[in-house]
């Protein structure tokens, strides 16, 4: 069974969760190497960029993984999302530069975002008009530097937003990381799938009560 772990801020918590679920995970020394693939027992762990986890699972190149709802929506993922993680929760929000006007059907707003697909579909649903400018990172900076009038991005505490003199105009979605399970494993290893979901569910359940990951 191959499981995809998102590199970066969710990586440690995700691995700790799988550890709690009783799966052998790579240790800190392993991770300090620059390797991205680790076989431990029956599991092959792969470390990939957070936005690539849904892609690996979608195409059957990984059996399961941990991915944020933001990435799942942006990639229109069809994988199962049986368990929500108790960590890494945040919101996807529309953020406004100071003094920028609100969005309307005739607005001349511009929106920087790493999520052009989600943003577009949200704009269409609301009937708002805006030009979307896809960026790869440091999205808030776009509004600070006047590249765009608005930003759609993840917000955790909102502190950065305030520091930069920006404002949260509207929440678009509540985001949490999820265990995702691809369709193939249900056919090829249904027992493994069932066990994975059960063990993760229990790990999350007990942990949730005791402490944050």
Partner 1 sequence: MRETARRRSVESRIVALLGRSGFEEIVLPILDYADPAAVEAQDTYRFVDRDGELVAIRSDFTPMVARALSPVVEKTRTPLRVFYRGDVIRREASRLGANREMFQIGAEIVGDGSSTADAALLGLLGSLLRDLGVTPRIVYTDATIPERLAAGSGAAVRDALAGKRAGDLEGLQRALSPEAFLVASRLASGQATVADLQQCAETAPVAARLAEIACAVDGFCVAQLDDVDRRAGYYSGLRFRAYGAGSRVVAQGGRYDSLYGQFGAPAPAVGFTVTIDELEWSGEALGV
Contact between 154 and a copy of itself per CB under 8 A: no
**To the nearest whole angstrom, how small is the minimum distance from the Cβ of residue 190 to partner 1?**
5
135 binds, among a copy of itself, partner 1, none (CB under 5 to 8 A by kind): a copy of itself
CA distance 127 to 109: 13
Instruction: Return the residue of 53, 123, 139, 155 that touches partner 1, per CB under 8 A.
Output: 123
89 binds, among a copy of itself, partner 1, none (CB under 5 to 8 A by kind): none
Identify whether the C-beta of residue 83 lies closer than 8 Å to the C-beta of residue 179. yes
Count of residues in contact with a copy of itself, rule CB under 8 A = 28
**Starting at the edge strand that comes first in sequence, how are the strands of the sheet with 109-113 ordered?**
130-134, 109-113, 150-155, 90-96, 167-175
Say what angle helices 190-210 and 11-20 make with each other, to 10 degrees. 100
Give ∠ CA 96-98-127 in degrees, rounded to 5. 35
Which of 31/95 has CB closer to partner 1?
Answer: 95
- By the 10 Å C-beta count (0-12 exposed, 13-18 middle, 19+ buried), 137 is classed as exposed
Binding to partner 1 (CB under 8 A) within 59-78 occurs at: 59-60, 76, 78
Applying CB under 8 A, which residues contact partner 1? 59-60, 76, 78-84, 105-106, 108, 116, 119-120, 123-124, 127, 129-132, 176, 178, 181-184, 186-188, 190, 193-194, 197
């Amino acid at each position: 069974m191959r499981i995809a772990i998102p590199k970066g801020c969710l990586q440690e918590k995700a691995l700790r969760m799988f550890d709690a679920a009783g799966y052998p995970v790579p240790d800190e020394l392993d991770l300090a190497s620059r390797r991205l693939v680790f076989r431990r027992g029956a599991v092959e762990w792969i470390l990939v960029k957070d936005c690539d986890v849904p892609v690996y699972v979608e195409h059957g190149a990984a059996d399961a993984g941990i991915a944020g709802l933001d990435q799942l929506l942006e990639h229109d993922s069809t994988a199962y999302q049986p368990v929500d993680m108790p960590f890494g929760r945040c919101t996807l929000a529309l953020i406004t530069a100071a003094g920028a006007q609100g969005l309307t059907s005739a607005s001349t707003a511009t929106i920087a975002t790493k999520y052009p697909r989600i943003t577009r579909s949200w704009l269409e649903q609301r009937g708002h008009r805006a030009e979307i400018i896809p960026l790869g990172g440091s999205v808030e900076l776009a509004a600070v530097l006047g590249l765009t009038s608005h930003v759609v991005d993840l917000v955790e505490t909102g502190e950065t937003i305030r520091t930069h003199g920006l404002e949260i105009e509207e929440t678009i979605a509540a985001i949490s990381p999820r265990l995702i399970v691809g369709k193939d494993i249900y056919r090829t290893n249904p027992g493994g799938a069932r066990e994975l979901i059960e063990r993760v569910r229990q790990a999350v359940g007990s942990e949730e009560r005791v402490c944050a990951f």
